[in-house]
Amino acid sequence: MIDILYSYYTIYQNGLTALHLCAQEDFIRVASILVKNEADVESQTETGYRPIHVAAHFGNLSMIRFLLKHNATIDVKTNQNYTPLHQAAQQGHAHIVTALLEGNASHKAQTNVSNILLLCMQLYKYLLIL
């Protein structure tokens, strides 16, 4: 555990950091220690995914709140222009979609592929909250 904490800056081959892994597993306590030791909440993988994208993908609301509290950008985009809101909508995480929209995430963002956000939101009937 200590080795992980001391190597928070370690970047794996694809750009994943310990903070990305915390976002995936919803490890708030470990993420807090990492951030206190200057881990970057905006660190990104080679494809542009940041910890907030990972937390949104896995439906981890407490991590989303933690990252936003520590100044993560709510509408940050990947290399394909996916935002955390896209990730949450694609995975059907209504609680994350709601939290991001309440935090003023843009519901108009488009990816390089298509307006997948609108399609996902229609599929899951999120348009009722817009």
Nearest to 51 by CA among 66, 36, 29: 66
Contact criterion met (CB below 8 Å) for 40 and 5: no
* Statement: residue 29 has pLDDT above 70: yes
The 10s digit of each residue's pLDDT in 6-15 is: 454 556 678 8
Q: The whole model's pTM is what?
A: 0.81
Contact criterion met (CB below 8 Å) for 19 and 45: no
Query: Where do the structural domains in the chain lie, given as residue ranges?
Result: 2-129
CATH 1.10.150.120 for the 2-129 domain, yes or no: no
Nearest to 111 by CA among 82, 76, 85: 82
The 10s digit of each residue's pLDDT in 65-81 is: 999 999 999 999 999 99
How far is residue 2's CA from residue 116's CA, in Å, rounded to a whole number?
A: 41
Six-digit token pair at 103? Answer: 């935090």
* Statement: residue 19 has pLDDT above 50: yes
